Amino acid sequence: MQNHFTRRRFLHSAAAGSALFPGILQQLLADSGDPLALRDPHHPATARNVIFLFMTGGVSHVDTFDSKPALTRDHGKEIKADHPEIQNRPGYERIYLKRPQWEFAPHGQCGTEVSTLFPHVAGCLDDIALIRSMHTSHSNHYNATLGMHTGSFAFARPSIGSWVSYGLGTMNRNLPGFVVIAPKQTYAGTQVYANDFLPGAHQGTLVVPGAQPVANVAPRIPADRQAIELAALRGINEAHLAARGSNDPLLEARLRTFETAFGMQMAVPEAFDFKQETDATLESYALERGQTSGFGWQCLAARRLVERGVRFVELIDTGSSGNWDAHGDMMTHVGLAKNVDQPIAALLEDLKRRGMLDDTLVVWTTEFGRTPFNNNADAKGREHHSWAFSSWLAGGGVKGGIVHGATDEHGMRAVEKPVHVHDFHATILHLMGFDHEKLTYRHAGRDYRLTDVEGHVVREVLA
Amino acid sequence: MKTLISTIVLCCSLTGISWASGDGIAFFEKQVRPILIKHCYECHAEMNSKGGLLLDTRQGWEKGGDSGPVIVPGNPGESLLIQAIQYRDPDLAMPPKKKGGRLTDAQIASLEEWVRMGAPDPRIAETKLGGMSEEEAKSWWAFRPLPEPTPEKIDAFIEEKLSEKSLEPVPAADKRTLIRRATYDLTGLPPTPEEVEAFLADDSPDAFAKVIDRLLESRQYGVRWGRHWLDVVRYADTAGENTDRPLPHAWRYRNWVIESFNADKPFDEFVRLQLAGDLIRAGESRERLNEGIVATGYLAIARRFGHDIDKRAYLMHEDVIDNLGKNFLGLTTGCARCHDHKYDPVTAEDYYALYGIFESTRFAFPGCEPKGQPRDLIPLIPQAEVDALLQQWQAKVAEADATKKQNEEMVEELKGLVASNVHTVAEDKVAEGANVDFARKELEVREGEVVQLTVFPNGSHAADSTQVRLKITERGGERSWSLEDLIDGFTSGNPRGDHGATWCFYESTVGPAFLTTLHESLQSNASLKAWKRKGDALSVFVNTDEQVVRVWTTLPARSVFMHPERNRPVSVGWVSPLDGTVDISGMVEDVHPSGGDGVSFQLSHLATPKLGDGLVKTGIDLNRKHVDPGPKPVIPVAYAVTEGDPANARFQERGDHEKLGAEVPRRWLSVFGGDDIADPGQSGRLELGDWIAEHPVTARVMVNRIWHWHFGRGLVGTPNNFGSRGEAPTHPELLDWLAAEFVAGGYRVKPMHRLIMNTAAYQQSSDRQLLLAEVDPENRLLGRFGRRRLSAEEIRDSLLFVSGQLDPEPAEAHPFPKEETWKFTQHHPFNAVYETKKRSAYLMVQRQRRHPFLALFDGADPNASTPGRQTSTVPTQALYFLNDPFFHEQAAAFADRFASLEDDKKLGRIYRVLFQREPAPGEREAAKAFLKQYPAGPPEKWRAYVRVLLAGNEFLHLD
């Protein structure tokens, strides 16, 4: 106890001296020597965890969550628009409205209209706050995807998951605090889950569905041998530390990481082993027993990770190709929606049944919407649309069964209560207990934050 | 009259202050200042300048906002400020409704009266340069001239600061620690046991100095210190735009940096060359010019942005200006893109003055999705040679293209002719393994018409080797022609002349396509000669042997064969030399009965006289003019810059590249004098190189980096920021002294290493003694040596070094896919990890996707200047030491190196290699116990123990 007290005092004097390398300072501040130690947010949080469902490529809002009868009515009508995707683009001198290709119908107590592309999610609408007035700053996949993840549309910056991990620490040291499950890399590559200038402990750990989901987690030697090696390692590290006066927090911290790593070798495979799940559960996620891929697998893995204390889990449905980017044919939305619809609904219901939805925030979004027009009303596809799209939030202190904001009658612009990506981020951070203007990190002489110099919390979606 | 009034007002305002000093100022203080403070300052003072307008100083309203000056002294009616507070125009009504709304009539009257008085205003702002007053900026510690060198010693500076806190430095480190420290520090590798022995055995007072000299001569020195520089310039091997294209030529800059450190190139020259090497070395020898060109790779490796990088060039320029500011000047110049720097003396005009220099420079273009191929790479051989090489090749390409086109046209023409007048003379099906004779008496032919025998595969069945005979006899003449006559000299050509007639072999699937490729021996049998089109089986071939040949089937002696392919018939054509009558006879036999269903044949008379000439001509042209231009000649090029179109840039309002303001002349930063470039007909890089290289801040920044890289912390704790938001130096006199020494010594880096490493400060122990740790936890006062973890590169290189697998030679280009094959898109960006046994400084580093190993162990950020490495300690690093295959391989290779030694000696040897010391008795015991307990055979036991030692803190840290 005496020893502990001295160490704390030492650490505080270290902190008071400020301006160590940030990574080291964070570690010194965390008494455990672990930058993932638990920290309190700014105000009581309604959400402890986030499951962030990212549909890559740009989901068409007017074909899914944003019902636009006028678009059907005005199909084929020529319009004018100063739209970023048609400027100076040969063949796009004239553009025409293009009707949604799927029927919409009201669902749930709330009666919100959703198209036939999402029949299962439609059944969960009473738990969902649907935002129909999303808009973003760029109509390129790369930039819009980077923006949705980091708040920056050009430069590499820390991902939202890294910010949350930095702000709150982890509840389970045997697992990473920020996990990204993706079958393929999406636009902007690893930057979408990079810690950038935040301490390395907050980088997203990539899990690729399959046999070995985390790098180097499978023991290369039998457990009994590894135990002997780890005991010997502890012995020589302790002797090394003792020979150096036993007062170097860096050496101590490294000693401990081997215990965590040893734990991860079991905790990671355990988290991804669905043997204990019932047939009914697997079936609800549209999973075969033994299956280790598909969005259903990703969703069930997300629930299991959150159950085990992982702070932020992101699921990316596809990669930078073969995704929702339906320039050629909107019908590709059918397969992509089918891939995610039932698993997402199963996840929401599963979380609810286990009482986890109360403090788990589920976010569903994409990087931008798709144009309600094309250069030919009978064109099969739609183009990139940064002016408007739909996203939704559920659980974790979100008011269910509501629709926030609206686009104009054709779904061109977010006209009512527009929500920019920065506002979306501010709202997520608020639910996690943060004032987005105060969750900052000093880097290169400046305080950085997820929302840059923008962002307003969308209070209407808070329960 | 109006002119007169303005003139008077002007006079008043020119002399205004003293004139109005009495009543005017009193009126301002009593009536005006309180209104401004209460109602205007919230949005128009200090950092806030809504609409660009400041009302907290006289200069503020004189300069005005986005709409120009807001007060015309003496004339309230013309003053925008007065119009605004009068709420005349709803778009220009101040203060706004939500900020309290319209002022009272009395307040408005006061302001009108004040303006009418000539707007007397005592609030004179000190002249500002960006975020500092001009005075403060000019005397800022980092910018001052350097003192004269003095004979003082580094240790004296250090001891002075320690004694101020009543602290004493710790004792010196032992020699083993010292040589390990110095060897890693200068080369990034551990010392060998032999080097350690030699140092221990050397009792002379300059033993350590000799070690330093030896290390500075090692070629591995440049790899370590060049990598430091590459951190600062955010070197990467990809462009960073949306497809993250490879930069196949950037390595030349990387290697130049490494070689420059090895050669101890003076730092001022090193700086100049990176900014303007192409201009400095213009007119010098090719070798020196090339060095200058390659050095400007510093500018070219700027990060590229977006989908079409030409449209995002302003972001690339920002990256350049940001990096050169931080890197050379310790100034965050990039912050001045949208507005004057908030804290440091850099104005937005300064930013666009530099911007013009880079806009006048042509940067090598790496390609991007809409503009796929690289361009503007700089050739490293004279343009005339490039032109000659390319012209030769392009001429060949053009010739090949023309021939190809000509042939295609001819074939098209032939197709028409072939189809136009065809008479079938005979046709039949040949059953599996069977033969069919054919004959035709008295066929009228004209000169140039063709008799064609075609063999088809049956149905969709594949090829069959088909023996054919064809004899054509002139009726009433002496001449006859027979396929068998072609067996001798079969290889002499296709088409082949034969007593006035010509024989042609061709594929006849679509139109005649000549069999242009000769095979001298089929299936390594020199008796079998064939004409084919590609590598496939479709052919006309002969057996020249007097014997049957057994290959895929039995081929009769001295015979001619035709071999069609699946859905592709093959033909022989006889071009008639005569106008008259011929008799034709022949035979077709399936000589490869193997589960197929035989073949078919057709004998046709192509009765168009022009056809034969065309056919023959096509065949001859195809053979003679078949030009292969070969691969494009490889021109050695650099990813570098050159002069573009010199022009001043226009100011970008609030950093918006679409809102262009006034032209800003290209010049040096105003805080440093703001000199204009000498020759507006050039970009200005030449002058910029001089300005930067010669300014004392540049020397201060570099010596501080050298110090930082030796001690893990600079005398200035923020090596990229010497401005007001950076840290002040802990030892300002020492910093200046070092900078003065650096300049006086001709900007050479190696003497600085000697100066620094030969001090007591560098050679002291890393003991964290309690008092020192409490009073100076960050070791700012250098009372001890700062223990550090090895960097990512040092970890990997050490593993390869001890395992004996390291290839210490420099690497060159990465094995990128060839540029011609690039089809990278944002949907399919470039992505690769290349394995190598070379040093880690040569690993291929991508901007969009971090190298998995370098990312795990805190490698440099390839997107932004990295002044110092972080040290994170995370469990995924421990997983690497537990389970990574590369780690296991190196450990096994290392253990196996000593397999023949007996256990005691083996342990000693391993300890000497890894830790530069003998194992202690307790460590011998521990090893023995481990080996006894570990349930495996001797090789595996030792590999296991080596893994433990390699994962241990002693191996991974430097004391």
> Shortest CB distance from A189 goes to which of B305, B829, B874?
B829
Q: Which residue has the tokens 């090497």?
A: B277
The reply to whether A27 touches chain B by the CB within 8 Å rule is yes
> What integer pLDDT is reported at residue B23 of this predicted model?
82
Q: Give me A323's structure tokens.
A: 């995704």
* Paired tokens of A433: 């207990």
| Identity of the residue in B244, B863, B952 whose CB atom sits nearest the CB atom of A233 | B952
Provide the token pair at B793: 């590169």
Contacting residues of B for A143, CB less than 8 Å apart: 242, 306
Greatest mean pLDDT range, A242-251, B610-619, B909-918: B909-918
Q: Which of B322, B876, B954 to mutate to test the interface with A (most CBs of A within 10 A)?
A: B876
Give the pLDDT confidence score for residue B4 in this predicted structure: 36
E strand or H helix that includes residue B255: helix B251-262
Beta strand A104-107 with B549-550: parallel, antiparallel or unpaired? unpaired
* Per-residue b or e along B844-881, where b marks 16 or more CB atoms closer than 10 Å to that residue's CB: bbbbbbbbebbbbbbbbbbbbbbbbbbbbbbbbbbbbb
Which positions ≥6 away from B880 have C-beta within 8 Å? A216, B856, B887
Residue A208: how many other CB atoms lie within 10 Å: 16
> From the candidates B827, B845, B880, B958, which should be mutated to test the interface with A, based on the most A CB atoms within 10 A?
B827
pLDDT at A34: 63
Q: Judge whether residue B7 has pLDDT over 60.
A: no
pLDDT for residue B488 is more than 70: yes
Partner residue opposite A154 with nearest CB, options B244, B305, B954:
B305
DSSP B499: T
Rg of chain A (C-alpha set): 24
List CB contacts (< 8 A) between A192 and chain B. Answer: none
Residue-level pLDDT at B701: 98
List the beta bridge partners of residue B601.
B428, B455
Closest-CA residue of B relative to A220 is B883
Query: Across the interface, do A444 and B849 touch by the CB < 8 Å criterion?
Result: no
Q: Does A445 touch chain B (CB under 8 A)?
A: yes
pLDDT given for residue B8 in this prediction: 35
Q: Which of A20, A216, A235 sits opposite B884 (nearest CB)?
A: A216
Q: How far apart are CA B574 and CA B540, in angstroms?
A: 14
Give CA angle at B950 (B945, B956), nearest 5°. Answer: 150
Confidence grade of residue B462 (pLDDT, cut at 50, 70, 90)? low
Query: Considering only alpha carbons, which residue of chain B is nearest residue A240?
Result: B954
In this complex, do A225 and B954 lie within 8 Å of one another by their Cβ atoms?
no
Mean pLDDT of chain B: 90
What is the crossing angle of helices B685-694 and B696-711, to 10°?
60
Is residue B768's pLDDT more than 80?
Answer: no
> Cβ contacts (< 8 Å) between A154 and chain B: which residues?
305-306, 312, 315
Which amino acid type is present at position B399?
E
DSSP H or E run through B21: none
Q: Cα distance from A190 to chain B (closest Cα, Å)?
A: 5
Q: Do A141 and B826 touch (CB under 8 A)?
A: yes
Contact of A199 with chain B, judged by CB distance below 8 Å, is answered with yes
Residues B53-71 pLDDT 10s: 888 888 888 888 887 888 9
Using an 8 Å CB-CB cutoff, list chain A residues near B769.
245
pLDDT of the residue at B723: 94
How far apart are the C-alpha atoms of A200 and A158, rounded to whole Å? 11
pLDDT at A73: 96
Measured in angstroms, the CA of A402 and the nearest CA of chain B are apart by 31
A23 touches chain B (CB under 8 A): yes
Q: Quick one: how far is CA B925 from the chain centroid?
A: 52
Please check whether residue B294 is in contact with residue B277, taking contact to mean a CB–CB distance below 8 angstroms. Answer: yes
Chain B interface mutation, best of A82, A146, A251, highest count of B Cβ atoms under 10 Å: A251
Q: Is A169 on the interface with B (CB under 8 A)?
A: no
**Contact assessment for residue B226 and residue B749, using Cβ atoms and an 8 Å cutoff:** no
Residues of chain B positioned with their CB less than 8 A from the CB of A156: 861, 863-864
pLDDT exceeds 90 at position B889: yes
Q: Looking at this predicted complex, what is its ipTM?
A: 0.71
Closest approach of chain A CAs to the CA of B177, in angstroms? 13
Range with lowest mean pLDDT among A92-106, B385-399, B836-850 = B385-399
**Do the Cβ atoms of B872 and A35 come within 8 Å?**
yes
Amino acid at B588: V
Lowest mean pLDDT among A379-393, B65-79, B312-326, B339-353: B65-79
Closest-approach residue (CA) in chain B for A445: B725
What distances in angstroms separate CA A13 from CA A17, A343, B47, one per listed residue?
A: 6, 50, 34
Q: Grade residue B245 by pLDDT with cuts at 50, 70 and 90.
A: very high
Query: Residue B675: is its pLDDT beyond 90?
Result: yes
**In the predicted model, is pLDDT for residue B615 greater than 80?**
yes
* pLDDT the model gives residue B953: 96
For residue range B207-219, list pLDDT tens digits in order.
999 999 999 999 9
Percent of chain B with pLDDT over 90: 63
Span B459-477, average pLDDT: 84
Tokens of B536: 């496939």
Stretch among B517-521, B540-544, B948-952 having the lowest mean pLDDT = B517-521
As a whole number of angstroms, the distance between CA B314 and CA B466 comes to 70
Whether the link from the prior residue into B95 is cis, omega within 30° of 0, is yes
Encode B746-803 in three state secondary structure: CCCHHHHHHHHHCCHHHHECCCCCHHHHHHCCCCCCCCCCCCEECCHHHHHHHHHHHH
What confidence score (pLDDT) does residue B97 get?
A: 83
Q: From first to last of the 463 residues of chain A, give the pLDDT tens digit.
A: 333 333 333 333 333 333 333 333 333 344 445 677 888 999 999 999 999 999 999 999 999 999 999 999 999 999 999 999 888 888 888 999 999 999 999 999 999 999 999 999 999 999 999 999 999 999 999 999 999 999 999 888 999 999 999 999 988 888 889 999 998 888 888 889 988 888 878 888 888 888 778 889 999 999 999 999 999 999 999 999 999 877 777 788 788 789 889 989 989 999 999 999 999 999 999 999 988 889 999 999 999 999 999 999 999 999 888 899 999 899 999 999 999 999 999 999 999 999 999 999 999 999 999 999 999 888 899 999 999 999 999 999 999 999 999 999 999 999 999 999 999 999 999 999 999 999 999 887 788 999 999 999 999 999 9
Mean pLDDT, rounded, for B389-407 = 85
CA atoms within 13 A on the CB side of B314: 17
User: Ranked by mean pLDDT, which of B27-41, B55-69, B244-258, B777-791 comes out on top?
Assistant: B244-258
Smallest CA-to-CA distance from B782 within B751, B748, B756 is with: B756
pTM above 0.80, yes or no: no
The yes-or-no verdict on residue B3 having pLDDT over 60 is: no
Q: Which two tokens stand for residue A342?
A: 């039932």
**Residue B944 to residue A228, Cβ atoms within 8 A:** yes
Alpha-carbon distance of B53 to B81, in angstroms, equals 11
Contact state of B725 with A33 under an 8 Å Cβ cutoff: no
Q: How many CB atoms are closer than 10 A to CB A344?
A: 27
- One-letter amino acid for residue B795 of the chain: I
Out of B725, B769, B875, name the one closest to residue A257 (CB).
B875
Query: pLDDT higher for A45 or B874?
Result: A45
Residue for token pair 């350049």: B320
Helix, strand, coil share of chain B (percent; to 5): 45, 15, 40
CATH label, A19-213+272-461, candidates 1.10.150, 1.10.3470, 3.40.720, 3.80.10 = 3.40.720
Distances, alpha carbon A73 to alpha carbons A63, A97, A300, B86, in Å: 15, 10, 41, 49
Query: Among the listed ranges B139-153, B768-782, B800-814, which one has the minimum average pLDDT value?
Result: B768-782
- pLDDT at position A119 is 97
Residues of chain A numbered 230-249 and touching chain B (CB < 8 Å): 232-233, 235-237, 239-241, 244-245, 247-248
Mark out the alpha helices in B29-153 (DSSP H runs).
33-35, 41-44, 58-63, 80-85, 105-116, 134-138
Nearest CA in chain B to A233: B948
Does any CB of chain B come closer than 8 Å to the CB of residue A251?
Answer: yes
- Indicate the domain borders of chain B: 2-125, 403-624, 882-958
Type of residue at B593: P
Q: How far is CA B806 from CA A398, A432, B219, B259, B887, in A?
A: 57, 49, 14, 19, 14
H/E/C letters for each residue in chain A?
CHHHHHHHHHHHHHHHCCCCCHHHHHHHHCCCCCCCCCCCCCCCCCCCEEEEEEECCCCCHHHCCCCCHHHHHCCCCEECCCCCCCCCCCCCCCEEECCCCCCEEEECCCCEEEECCCHHHHCCHHHEEEEEEEECCCCCHHHHHHHHHHCCCCCCCCCHHHHHHHHHCCCCCCCCCEEEECCCCCCCHHHHHCCCCCCHHHCCEEECCCCCCCCCCCCCCCHHHHHHHHHHHHHHHHHHHHCCCCCCHHHHHHHHHHHHHHHHHHHHHHHCCCCCCCHHHHHHCCCCCCCCCCHHHHHHHHHHHHHCCCCEEEEECCCCCCCCCCCCCCCHHHHHHHHHHHHHHHHHHHHHHCCCCCCEEEEEEECCEECCEECCCCCCCCCEECCCEEEEEECCCECCCEEECEECCCCCCEEECCEEHHHHHHHHHHHCCCCCCCCEEEECCEEEECCCCCCCCCHHHEC
Maximum Cα–Cα distance across chain A: 81
CB contact under 8 A, A217 and B717: no
Looking at CA atoms only, how far is residue A368 from chain B in angstroms?
Answer: 16
CA gap B786, B307 in Å, rounded: 45
A112 Cβ under 8 Å from any chain B Cβ: no
Give yes or no for residue B364 having a pLDDT over 70: yes
pLDDT at B744 over 90: yes
Domain ranges within chain A, ordered by starting residue: 19-213+272-461, 218-269
Q: Does A266 touch chain B (CB under 8 A)?
A: no
